Amino acid sequence: MNVHVGALTREKPPFRAEHIGSLLRPAALLEQRARFARGEISQNDLTTAENAAICDAIALQERLGLRFVTDGEFRRRSYHSFFYQQLGELSIDTIAGADAKGGSGRGDQPMALVKSRVRWTHPINVDDFNFLKNRTTLLPKITIPGPCALHFRGGDAAVLAHAYRDIDQFWEDTIEAFTKELSALAQAGCRYVQIDETAFAKFGDPDVQATLAARGDEWSSLIDTYISVTNRVLRAAPEALHIGMHLCRGNRGGHWHAEGSYEEVAERLFNALDIPFYFLEYDTQRAGNFTPLRFVPKHKSVVLGLISSKTATMEDKGTLRARVENASRHVSLDRLAVSPQCGFASVETGNPVTPQVQEAKLCLAVELARDIWGES
């Protein structure tokens, strides 16, 4: 199984070998962050440590043969906390008890606190983009949380508890904030943005459906709301941006938040949502099989998240090739790509894998892509 045809070479995202964005924070960087929290070093000292670690991450991605780079999300505590904190007095990942640092199984679902209106006052990720642009010839990829992530963590109750009297005003503020951020990125020259909107992958879990119902949300109606909100952001986004959406069922210290097939959401997810390509979790049976991909229209692409960032067990390349072939029964091979199912460190403490395993898994994605498509 291969399509080594020059005409199929991808000149724009998604590339044949992808990764979701976050990388394991080096131990030295975590130590500097701890020292900063204790007041032992300055912000400049921490930034210097972050810069050095990001340069090493760039070099790793270049060495492996990837065609894009991220900054590993090394300046963030979690994949979404930093972004939303720039938009107001907002918290999206409050967890009862300590953060999960290892193990497996269902973890605690983070909760949202909305104590101010959502307001965009300055570019959030432009400096991160510029740092990458000035240090590599590869395409920088910027990752941001989705516009519905905050609401999903608490529903109308969290939104109306302190800052809002009108849920429609919350959505208007959110759409405006995301529109301004995407415009700022495009004006800076950014061309590749990944939206991390994990809610859609979780709606198929009966436990999640029950939790939503208990707070007064009917899950199927909520999907329609989230699609409408996201489409308004996408339709206002500059045409120069290539925007994909990552979906998973939770990724925190090896734990997960949901399980269940894409089947219940697939038709709307792939057809009503104006996203041209998707990064889909498919590393375990928790995600179900590939049959929901039959709803993907012919103008859209799918990155199959076949490699687990949660465990140190290395996947067999032959087995992965067979899985890609299986998926190609529903989406043509020329519209597929491969990646890990999620980042290696959605929170800064990271998943229970070593840097050596992380590199091996990224290398596996590149090798698999080259074997199947003749390019990474």
CATH number for the domain spanning 24: value is: 3.20.20.210
Q: Does residue 1 lie in a domain region? A: no
CB 163 within 8 A of CB 117: yes
How would you write the pLDDT of the chain (376 residues) with one tens digit per residue? Answer: 665 544 457 789 999 999 999 999 999 999 999 999 999 999 999 999 999 999 999 999 999 999 999 999 999 988 778 899 999 999 886 554 444 445 555 556 678 899 999 999 999 999 999 999 999 999 999 999 999 999 998 999 999 999 999 999 999 999 999 999 999 999 999 999 999 998 888 888 888 888 899 989 999 999 999 999 999 999 999 999 999 999 988 655 544 456 678 899 999 999 999 999 999 999 988 778 999 999 999 999 999 999 999 999 999 999 999 999 999 999 999 999 999 999 999 889 898 999 999 999 999 999 999 999 999 9
Encoded tokens for 161 = 């508890």
Residue 338, CA distances (Å) to 14, 52, 302 in order: 10, 29, 8
DSSP code for 337:
E
Task: Judge if pTM exceeds 0.85.
Answer: yes
Calpha distance 159→150 (Å, rounded): 9
Q: Does residue 56 lie in a domain region? A: yes
DSSP character string of 74-102: TT-SBTTHHHHHTTSSEEEEE-SSSPP-S
Q: Does residue 328 lie in a domain region? A: yes
CB 106 within 8 A of CB 251: no
Helix (H, G, I), strand (E, B) or coil at 115: coil
CB 345 within 8 A of CB 73: yes
Residue 80, CA distances (Å) to 22, 146, 169 in order: 11, 9, 22
The residue whose two tokens read 């107001």 is: 88
Calpha distance 143→21 (Å, rounded): 7
CB 198 within 8 A of CB 248: yes
Collect all residues with Cβ–Cβ distance below 8 Å to 197 and sequence separation of at least 6. Answer: 145, 146, 147, 148, 149, 226, 230, 245, 246, 247
Calpha distance 350→25 (Å, rounded): 7
**Domain span at 143:** 6-373
DSSP code for 294:
G
- Give the per-residue pLDDT at 4: 53
Residue 239, CA distances (Å) to 182, 191, 192 in order: 10, 9, 11
Collect all residues with Cβ–Cβ distance below 8 Å to 31 and sequence separation of at least 6. Answer: none
Residue 153, CA distances (Å) to 159, 198, 202 in order: 10, 11, 12
Q: Does residue 335 lie in a domain region? A: yes
Which residues does residue 302 pair with via DSSP β-bridges, in sequence order? 278, 336
Find, among 225, 218, 229, 217, the residue nearest to 158 by Cα: 217
Calpha distance 101→352 (Å, rounded): 8
DSSP code for 106:
B
Helix (H, G, I), strand (E, B) or coil at 242: strand
Helix (H, G, I), strand (E, B) or coil at 18: coil
Number of domains within the chain = 1
